Chain A
Amino acid sequence: MQRDEVKRKVKLAVVAVAGRPIRCEVCDEVMVKAIPIIWKGDVKLIGAETGLVSVDFASMNRLVFRHVEVAACPARRP
C-alpha cells in the first residue's frame, strides 16, 4: 500500500472515532464527520473532504454548512 493511502486510511479511522457530525442547515442530515483544528491561520476540517458541502457564516462566529447536491438533500429534492 502506498504511503499516502496508509495516511488516508489512518485519517479516516481517526475521524470515524473522534470526528463530530456536521449537519446540513436545510435538511439537518449529517453530511460528514470532521475534526476542526486551526492550523497556520486556517481552520481545517479534517474529514470534510468525504462529502460535497458548501459553507457560509451565519453569525460573526458560526459557520453553517449545506449539501451541494440537491439529490443528496431530502429537503431540496423535487
Chain B
Amino acid sequence: MPGATPVTTLTVVLTHVDAATAGEQLRLLGGIAPGERFAVCHGGKRADFDALDLDAKAFVDDPTLRGAPRSFQSYHLTFAAVWDHWVRDDPSIDAVYVIEYDHLVLRGDYAQRLGAIAAQTGAGLLGKEASLRTGTNWEHYGRFRRDPALLAHLRRVSVREDPTLIYGTLGDGMWLSRAALADYVTVENHPPCYGELYVPTLVHHLGHRIVNLAEHSNLYDHVRWDPAYAPAEVRALHAAGATFAHPVKDLDVWREVAAHASPGTSVTSGDGYQV
C-alpha cells in the first residue's frame, strides 16, 4: 500500500475455547501475520485461561457474554481489559482490531489495509456494514429505539446535535482507533444494551466517525455472521487473495492457511492447494 502511514495495531482475539485450541490459533495467526501484535481476551472457563500458554492474555469475566445469543452482550469489560493491559501504557499502539476466535486472517497485510482505510476516512470505528440504523427495521434498533436508559445515557455523553441516533455493526472485526477506545473506556455506568448496537452508537456520540468498510473496500466480503465457511471455500478464498474469512470453525484449514502463508502478498492459485 504505497504512501500509507504505518499503523501499529493490536489484534485482540475474543475467545472462550480450551487453552490448547486458543494457544494454537494464536500461534497460527502469528505465522500468517508475523509482523502483527496479538493478544487474547478469554471469556470462558478460568481454568482454560490459566492454562493458556501466552503472555498477552486477559481474563474477562463478563456475565453478559453468557446470556442468550444476541441479547445484551457487551464489550465494556473487554475494552477495559484491552486498555488496561496493553494500550494505556503503550503509546505506540494506534488502533485495536477486535476479532472473534473463529475469524481467520488470510493475509499478513490485513492491519495495514485496515489502517489505510481508517487514515483515508478518518474513522474512529471501522466495521462490517457499520452504519446508521435509525429508521431501519434492524431488530436491535426496534428493541432499543425508545429505551429510556439508553437514551438518557446518550443525552448525557453525546457531543452530537442529535443524541438519539442509533448505529449498528457486526460485532466480529471491529477496528477502533486509539482515541475512540480511550474515550470509550472513560465512560461509566453503561446501560444494559447490545454490543453490536451500543459500541458504534456510543463511539459516534463520543465524536468519532463510524465507517462502513463495505463502502470503501471488499475486505469484509467474506466476513459474515453465519453459516461457517467450509474448508474448501476457505482454501479458494485464500488462493484468490481474500483478506479474511469468518466464521471458520475447522482448525485443520487454519493450519493449512498458516502453512501456505504468504504475508503481505496476494496468494495466487496453483500454490499447492487443491481448490
Contact = CB atoms under 8 A, between A and B. Distances in A.
B189 interface: no
Nearest to A51: B137
Interface of B: 129, 131, 133, 135-139, 212, 214-218, 220-221
Contact of B138 (A52, A76, A77): A52
28 contacts: A48-B137, A49-B137, A49-B139, A51-B137, A52-B136, A52-B137, A52-B138, A53-B136, A53-B137, A54-B135, A54-B137, A55-B135, A55-B136, A68-B133, A68-B138, A69-B214, A70-B129, A70-B131, A70-B214, A71-B129, A71-B214, A71-B220, A76-B215, A77-B214, A78-B214, A78-B215, A78-B216, A78-B218
The B interface is mostly helix, strand or loop, or mixed, namely loop
Contacts of B129: 68-71
B197 to A, nearest CB: 13
A4 interface: no
Nearest to B212: A70
B215 A68 contact: no
A77 B133 CA distance: 18
A1 to B, nearest CB: 20
Contacts of B212: 70
